Every structure is written in C-alpha cells, then in structure tokens.
Amino acid sequence: MTMPPQAHPAAQPPQQQGWNGAPGPYASPIPVRTPGLGDAIASEWTKIRSVRSTMWTLGVMIVLLIGVGLLTAFAVSVSDAPMDETPVLSLGFFGVLLGSICVITLGVLTIASEYGTGMIRTTLTACPSRARILFAKSIVFFLLAFTITTVTTGIVGVLQTAMLDGATPDTGFWVRSTVGIGLYVATLGLLSLALGAIIRHSAGAITIMIALVLLPLVLAMFMFSPTLARVQQALFEYSIPNQLGAMYDVSVTASGPTGWEPLFIILGVTAVAMGGALLSLDRRDV
Amino acid sequence: MIELDGLTKRFGNKVAVDHLSCRVRPGMVTGFLGPNGAGKSTTMRMMLDLDNPTSGSVRIDGRHYRDLQEPLKHIGALLDAKSMHGGRSAYNNLLCLAQSNRIPTSRVSQVLDTVGLTAVAKKKSKGFSLGMGQRLGIAAALLGDPEILMFDEPVNGLDPEGIHWIRNLMKTLASEGRTIFVSSHLMSEMALTADHLIVIGQGKLLADTSMADFIHENSRSYVRMRSPEQERLRDLLHAEGIVAVESGNGTLEIDGEAPERLGELAGRHGIVLHELSAQRASLEEAFMQMTAGSVEYHAHSDRDGAEPPPVGPHWGEQWNQQQSGGAAGDRAKEV
C-alpha cells in the first residue's frame, strides 16, 4: 500500500468509540471533497467516450445522415423532378429516420449495457443516488446526441441547398430542420435511455424502441376496415416517422401535429418515461 | 464499522436473510462465512444498498448507505470480478469511478500499481483473466482509500500467488485500522486470514465470535489408537475409566487423554499398537458441523445414504460419514 499506516483517534466519530483493543479507525490522507452532479456528469462522460459502441453508433449515424442526405439530393437533381412543392431541407428526412435507430441504440446501451456487464453495481456503489446517476447519464447522452445530430443535419442541409436550386428556406425552417430535429432525435434517444433503465436488457429495449418507431405505421397500413379508420388515422398521424416528417413539413397526413408540435409530444412522453425509470431505479433491487 | 440491525430479505416465500444483527468492527479482518446459498452475497448487496431489505437496516459509520456523500471514501467493495464494463480499459473503468467521487485522478494510477496492473492499464478489461479481473475489482475497492473494505469471495479463481497476495493485503489493510469484511465458504481460508468470524446458514446468524474462540471451542483434539488386540485394549481403557469411542476400521478415539499416558498404559500391559496418534479436528469439520442443518444445497452421496448428517452428533460419528477434502483428520482406512 502507498498509504502509511496511521490512526487518528482524534478524528474518531463518537459512534465508533467504545471499541477497545482495536486500533483507531483508518483515516485516509486523501482530501474529502463532496461530489455533486457535475462529478457524476464527468464520470458519465468518461464512460460514454471510452466504449466502442458510442463511436460505432454515432459514426454510423453520421454516415447515414450525410450519405442518405446526399444520395437523395443527387437523385432529385438528376431526375429533374420539380421541387417547388417540397422544401429542399426536407430531403434530410430519410437519413434522419435511419440515423435515429443509431441514437435509439446508443440511448439504450448507455444504461442497459451497465446491467449487462454488471458495471451498474459498481456505478451505484460509487454513487448511491439513483436520481443523480439517471440525470448525469441523460444530460451527457442528450448533449452528445443533440450536438451530433444538429451539426450533421446542418451540414447535410447546407450541401443539399447547394446541390439543388429550390426556394431558399427561411430561418425558421432552418432552425427547425437542424436544432429542432436534433432536439427531437436526442429526446427520442432519451426515451430509449429511460426504457433501457426500466427493461435493463439491451436487445429487449432496442427491439421495443424500434417497434415503437415502426409498428404504428406498419399497423396503420394494414387497417383496411372502415371501422378502424379513426385508429388508422391516429396511428399515421402520431407515428414517429410521420411526426419527424411533420417537423420537415412533409407529413404523410394532412392533419396531425405540425411544426414544433412533435417535439413537445415526445418531450411529454419522455418525461413520463423518465419518471418511470427513476421509480424503477429507486425501488428495484439491482 | 458496519452495523446490521434485524436485516431481513425475502424473495417471494424464500427467506434469504433472516433477522441478521451483527457488527463488523474496525482494525480486524472479519470473516463472513456460510455455505453456498446462505445469504452472504445478498447481505453484502444490502450493505451496499443494491438490494432493498424487506426489513431491518444497515448502517455504515452510523449512516445509511444512500446518505453517504462520497461512498467510495467510506467503503470499497469487491462484489465479483465481472462488475466492470469489458469494453473499457482498466484505467478508464477506474477513472469514471474516481471522477464520480471527486477522487484525484492520480489515485487511479496508484491503485493500479498497488494491484500490479500498471502494465495492462490501457487494455480492455474483457481480455483479463479471472485473477486480473479480481485485481481490477480490488483496485476499484481501494480507489477511495476507504475505511471499510468488503470482499465477496476474493480468492475465487486466483492462483496460489494471488491468494497469498490477497491474504497479505487484507492483513495489511486491517493493521492500518480499517474494517475488513470478507466472505467465503471456505473455513480453511478464513482460518488463515480472519480475526473475527460471523457465520450464517440459511440467512440466520449461527455464530459471531472471535477466531481464537472459535478454534478453541470447535477444534477438538483427541487421540487415535489402533491395535490388533482391540478387545483387550478396550477392556483396559474401560478399566482405567477412559472413554474410548469405536470409530470403525478398528480404531478407537479417546478424548481428553494425553497420547503419552495411553501409550505407557498399553505398553505396561503388553498390548501391541499399530497406531497411536494425536489428532486435531479441522476447522472445516467444525464449520460443517455448525452449518450441517442449514446447508442450502446438499450433495447426496450414494455411499452413506441420502440424509445429511444431523446436527451435533458425536464428533467421531461425523468423521467417517463426511468426506471432506483437505481436512486434517487424515483417515487410515485401508490397512
């Protein structure tokens, strides 16, 4: 050991007195500084940057966003199809839809992989506050996913507007299709993180999240019965791909959420899921 | 100091830990002993607030675990070797723990050096052998230089050099005034390291005693005699008022007599002896006797029937029924 053996009877708290024969309790020379949320965030940042899955999921997402975005822009530019109706920036939609799967995966892995590896026991032993752990993980993951998505969608948008000469998008639309999409995708990832905390199983949580994204749309497609028309309409309108499209002004349906509304919807859903995750972490055995 | 007060944990109908109350004191190695499934790990997990007790409480230095501000500076724990993310390097696994408790980053290299993993600090921990994983877990436990250290089965999977290292480490840490709490299902291991013993079986406290007392109370010494003229020997002993117990294979076991006296006695009467030896019951046997009624998973041997030995029969009876490897009571059966 690097620490010299020492005993400080003076530093002995009252409840440890009354035990004779043994030396005084050990007092560490390491200064005690009360850690807070900031330290938990630093710790979670170390965790997320030091595993391969982060590089893989985010790397694949960047490739998908830029690759699919450029491909669609290229396809449109050679096809000479008229672009007057659809805004140029909406071409980023396909890449983002695919890329969101990567964010979902990373969101789930951020917490569920700790259960898979057993790291969660070490984590919670080091920081017994479940709320602090969940917030720190959420903040680190959200900022990372948001930054990457916003920057990448911005780059794709600039490239697409340069390749195609449609109507120049206004600032509001620019903000919505970059920052807005970044917020939406990162929140979707946060929902995955919450689900990962509840399910505690990477593959299971990822499957459920992908089903959540795709299933409403697929189900709606097969609802031919007229009695189900309203259900079908709702499934179409509130399916995640359609809401993502709505933020790009390319909603499949004429009605349903528009503009920034999808973001508020997913923020609400995620807040509820986070509450559930916190409750689950707090009450259940690890 | 760790205090358990009426700690109970139920999983459905099964009681894993049953009203356990004890104290783990500083300045010594406290062994936490029990057969597999006795509730050792569950108890340790409750101590670390990983499992919620059904009732009762645990206090670490007088406080609940969740109220500890910088838990790693109070208590370091090695639960099992696989409590790290395998895709992360040893250094980064420890770094994120250090950061969460505001422990200076320099401590990471220090503890890696202490456990001898400096050379593989940047390697992914999933490539580690069991022994290296165990060392990494110990490094994590030592990170905050805590007053309390808790090890769950630390010698499992270690080579002799590693076992030796852990024993010495625990003793050194205890001599510095720390509280060392180490679980094991091997009495022989505890006998070498622990100063105090807490024995549980089926979640219940069976013993809370110092190692010296445990040895004193439980290790019976006796004399074993074997003779071709066994009947004569028996009669002689009986005439002298010495109680001899037949233990099978033509041997007699005598409690509370010096071998010198028995040898002289036999010699005076011209009885040929093939064996005269002082025997000492191993602590392993004492432990098995203590926990015999509370072993969770019995192995059934065809040879001596399916029933586990009852609690508290005569020592000599247990001797031949229970086959325990490495016990000191060496048997001289094949003659």
ipTM of the complex: 0.84
* CA of B110 vs chain A CAs: smallest distance (Å): 8
Q: Using CB atoms, pick whichever of B28, B97, B177 lies closest to residue A24.
A: B177
Q: Is the pLDDT of residue B143 over 80?
A: yes
Please count the other Cβ atoms lying within 10 Å of the Cβ belonging to residue A115: 18
Task: Tell whether the model's pLDDT for residue A250 goes beyond 90.
Answer: no
Q: Residue A4 pLDDT more than 70?
A: no
Q: What would the DSSP string read from start to end of A207-241?
A: HHHHHHHHHHHHHHHT---GGGHHHHHHHHHHSHH
Residue to test with chain A: of B51, B85, B108, most A Cβ within 10 A: B85
Q: Quick check: B12 and B54 in contact, CB under 8 A?
A: no
Note whether B66 contacts A128, CB cutoff 8 Å.
Answer: yes
Q: What is the mean pLDDT of residues A91-104?
A: 93
Give chain B positions within 8 Å (CB) of A110.
none
Task: Give tens-digit pLDDT for B6-16.
Answer: 999 999 999 99
Calculate mean pLDDT across residues B152-180.
Answer: 90
User: pLDDT by residue (tens digit) across B69-107?
Assistant: 889 999 999 987 678 888 999 999 999 999 999 999 999
Check: CB of residue B4 under 8 Å from CB of residue B22.
yes
Range with the poorest average pLDDT among A247-256, B75-84, B247-256: A247-256
> CA angle, corner B87, sides to B183 and A109, nearest 5?
95
Helix (H) or strand (E) holding B170: helix B160-175
H or E, element range at B207: strand B204-210
Residue A84 has pLDDT above 70, yes or no: no
Cβ contact A49:B98 at 8 Å? no
The residue among B50, B45, B46, B68 whose CA lies nearest residue B58 is: B46
Q: Return the pLDDT at B16.
A: 93
Query: Which of the four pLDDT bands, split at 50, 70 and 90, describes residue B282?
Result: confident
Q: Which is higher by pLDDT, B332 or A267?
A: A267
Q: Between chains, do B71 and A23 touch, taking CB under 8 Å as contact?
A: no
Task: Select, from the ranges A14-18, A106-110, A248-252, B291-295, the one with the highest average predicted confidence (pLDDT).
Answer: A106-110
- pLDDT-based confidence at B198, cuts 50/70/90? very high
Give the mean model confidence (pLDDT) for residues B212-237: 85
Taking only the tens place, the pLDDT of each residue in B28-85 is 999 999 888 889 999 999 999 999 999 999 999 899 999 998 899 999 999 876 788 8
Asked if B69's CB is within 8 angstroms of A39's CB, the reply is no
The whole-angstrom separation of Cα B43 and Cα B50 is 10
Closest CA to A103 of A146, A164, A158, A160: A146
- Whether residue B96 and residue A47 make contact (CB cut-off 8 A), yes or no, is yes
Q: How confident is the model at residue B301 (pLDDT cuts 50, 70, 90)?
A: low
Place of tokens 């299709």: A177
The per-residue pLDDT for B247 is 81
Which band of pLDDT confidence, cut at 50, 70 and 90, is reported for residue A2? Answer: very low
B122 lies within 8 A of chain A by CB: no
Nearest CA in chain B to A6: B176
Q: According to the model, what pLDDT value does residue A29 have?
A: 83
Residue showing tokens 């032993």: A125
Residue A135, pLDDT > 80, answer yes
Query: Residue A212 — very low, low, confident or very high, per pLDDT cuts 50/70/90?
Result: very high
**pTM, 2 dp:** 0.82
Segment B237-258 mean pLDDT: 85
Mean pLDDT of A90-116: 94
Residues of A in contact with B102 (CB under 8 A): 33-35, 39
Q: Is the pLDDT of residue A67 over 90?
A: yes
Contact (CB, 8 A) for A115 and B85: no
Higher pLDDT, A223 or A166: A223
A194 vs A171, residue with greater confidence: A194
pLDDT band at B296 (very low <50, low <70, confident <90, very high): low
What are the pLDDT digits (tens) for A147-161? 999 999 999 999 988
| Residue B69 in contact with partner chain A when CB distance is under 8 A | yes
CA distance, residue B186 to nearest chain A CA (Å):
25
Position B302 scores a pLDDT of 53
Q: Six-digit token pair at A216? A: 């409403």
Q: Write the residue in A5, A46, A286 that is nearest to B95 by C-beta.
A: A46
Q: In whole numbers, what is the pLDDT of chain A averaged over residues?
A: 87
Looking at the predicted structure, is the pLDDT value of residue A26 above 90?
A: no
Q: pLDDT at position B326, please?
A: 38
Mean pLDDT across B169-185: 92
Position B298 scores a pLDDT of: 65
**Average pLDDT in the A175-189 region?**
95
* Confidence class for position B283, pLDDT limits 50, 70, 90: confident
Question: Which residues lie closer than 8 Å to B147 by C-beta, 6 or more apart?
Answer: A25, A26, A27, A28, B26, B61, B73, B74, B75, B177, B178, B179
Q: What is the mean pLDDT of residues B290-294?
A: 75
- A214/B292: higher pLDDT: A214
What does the pLDDT read at residue B146? Answer: 93
- Paired with B181 in beta bridges are B30, B150
A47 and B85 within 8 Å at the Cβ level: the answer is yes
Which chain A residues are within 8 Å of B128, Cβ to Cβ? none
pLDDT (0 to 100) of residue A81: 67
B145 in A contact zone (CB under 8 Å): yes
Residue A65 burial (10 A CB sphere; 0-12, 13-18, 19+) = buried
Cα distance between residue B30 and residue B290, in whole Å: 18
pLDDT category at A91 given cuts 50, 70, 90 is confident
pLDDT, position B182: 95
By Cβ distance, the residue of B72, B87, B173 closest to A126 is: B72
